[in-house]
Structure 1
Amino acid sequence: MSALVGNVGWMGWNLVLALVPLVLARFLFGHRPRPVWLLWTGGAVFVAFLPNAPYVLTDVLHLPYDMSAAHGSPWLAAALAAQYACFIGVGFVAYVLSLVRLERWLKAGGLSFRAVLAVDLSLHALCAFGILLGRVFRFNSWDLVTDPHGLVDVLTVPQPRTVAVLLVLFAALAGGAAVLRALPAVVDRAARSV
């Protein structure tokens, strides 16, 4: 039970960070026109915080330790699995909804499908990079401002393993987002066929 309760603090904080880009997307990329300076400033903050939403996927690394703390209790193991599933689900849905809001705004602004797709893929790549910086090198979004030299030092000599991790993260983000976007259409088609 202590693992279940102990997770509330760090999961809660990570969910707050995961929801920041969704709140920013709702504010910046809504129907009301925003001043250009606000779009640029807010857009930069949006991009800086966007990796926090899919970052929760990597928090599954804590699950095996928590499961070992369940000491064979099937009820506690099920509760922990449900806790992690909700936590990861909320974070990843916030990620996809943030992207969808941005994409709709870009399309409404006249960008072509290819341009929107390029933005989308670029954001997946940036988020994969941001997750790597956070999970492996332990940087935070605000380190872009508070410790830019530390970030530059980490980036000077990329290791082959780092590139492999980036590719896996990119594939997970792009693939997961594509699957999540396809679900409403699948459910809608299934409902119509019944």
Structure 2
Amino acid sequence: MALIKTLRWILSRNAGRIGWNLFLAFIPLGLSFWLFRRGRSRSFTWWLVFVVFLAFLPNAPYILTDIIHLIYDVRDVNSVWTVTLVVFPLHIIFILSGFQAYVLSLINLGYYLQRIGRSKSIVAAELFIHALCAVGIYLGRFPRYNSWDLLAKPDDLVSTVVEDLIGKIPLAIIFITFVIITILYWLFKQITIAVLWQRGAIAFYQPDNTSITPQQ
């Protein structure tokens, strides 16, 4: 009975946060398929959706910072078995799922850049987005802004960014976050592409814009 009560407590404590954060993380992933995999022209609607994609994208790597909730649960749960069999798997699957959504979103972007003959811009685009997400993660974790604050509180958001970018501690946090995202993204990208490539689930474009798959 004590174990069941502990399990219910863990789920009630984390279910809402995990569900909401995963929902936010998968929004840009869904948009990335619409933007980058459907061959749509860059119309006004396309650019509007692209802006929404960028606004919500930091929510995916932001989940990495939720490791603090894993630490809280480990501290509050006395059972080693509950920590091993429930707390760790729950949080690790949650964190990996959110970050994987980020990786797949950028892989789709890279596919699009290859398709339009901009393959040399992929690394620069990825690093630029990592930097934007590092700033977004800082704004979400510390001043506690959300993606929709771009519309609801644009003045406050801009002033906070300007003020924080001249502070040593915020800049250090943003830089460390950028490094962590960059390293993890590279590792996850290699694994993801290898798996998808072997399964024939994705195609890549050569410089002449002809697609190539594992079967070729």
Normalising by structure 2, we get a TM-score of 0.82
| 1:62 positional shift | 1.4
Q: What residue is the counterpart of 1:180 in the other structure?
A: 188
User: Partners in 1 of 2:53 and 2:43 — Cα distance?
Assistant: 15
**Aligned Cα RMSD in Å?**
1.6
Q: Does 1:60 align with 2:67?
A: yes
Query: Tell me, which stretches of 5 or more residues in structure 1 are unaligned?
Result: 189-194
| 1:64 positional shift | 1.7
1:55-134 aligned at under 5 Å gives the runs 55-71=62-78, 73-78=79-84, 79-113=86-120, 115-134=121-140
Q: What residue is the counterpart of 2:30 in the other structure?
A: 23
Change (3 A) 1:75 1:46: same
| 1:75 positional shift | 2.1
Deviates more, 1:165-174 or 1:155-164: 155-164
Query: Tell me, which stretches of 5 or more residues in structure 2 are unaligned?
Result: 1-5, 197-216
2:155 aligned partner, one-letter code: H
What SS does the corresponding residue of 1:97 show, helix, strand or coil?
Answer: helix
Cα offsets for 1:140-161 (capped at 9, x unmatched): 0000000011112212323101
Q: What residue is the counterpart of 2:157 in the other structure?
A: 151
User: Partners in 2 of 1:105 and 1:35 — Cα distance?
Assistant: 12
Q: What residue is the counterpart of 1:140 in the other structure?
A: 146
| 1:187 positional shift | 7.2
Q: What residue is the counterpart of 1:191 in the other structure?
A: none
The answer on whether the counterparts of 1:3 and 1:69 sit within 8 Å (CA) in structure 2 is: no
Cα offsets for 1:161-190 (capped at 9, x unmatched): 1111111111111110101122257779xx
Q: What residue is the counterpart of 1:167 in the other structure?
A: 175
- Which structure's relative contact order is higher, taking Cα pairs within 8 Å and 6+ residues apart? 1
| 1:24 positional shift | 0.3
Q: What residue is the counterpart of 2:199 in the other structure?
A: none
Change (3 A) 1:187 1:47: closer
| 1:74 positional shift | 1.6
User: Partners in 2 of 1:185 and 1:102 — Cα distance?
Assistant: 13
Cα offsets for 1:20-55 (capped at 9, x unmatched): 000000111113324511221011000000000000
Change (3 A) 1:187 1:42: closer
Q: Does 1:42 align with 2:22?
A: no
Change (3 A) 1:132 1:102: same
The answer on whether the counterparts of 1:48 and 1:141 sit within 8 Å (CA) in structure 2 is: yes
Normalising by structure 1, we get a TM-score of 0.90
Cα offsets for 1:89-114 (capped at 9, x unmatched): 0000000000000110111011132x
Taking only the aligned residue pairs, the percentage that are identical comes to 39
Number of equivalent positions: 186
Say which one has the larger Rg: 2
The answer on whether the counterparts of 1:4 and 1:80 sit within 8 Å (CA) in structure 2 is: no
Runs of 4+ in 1 over 4 A off after TM superposition: 184-188
Deviates more, 1:147-156 or 1:6-15: 147-156
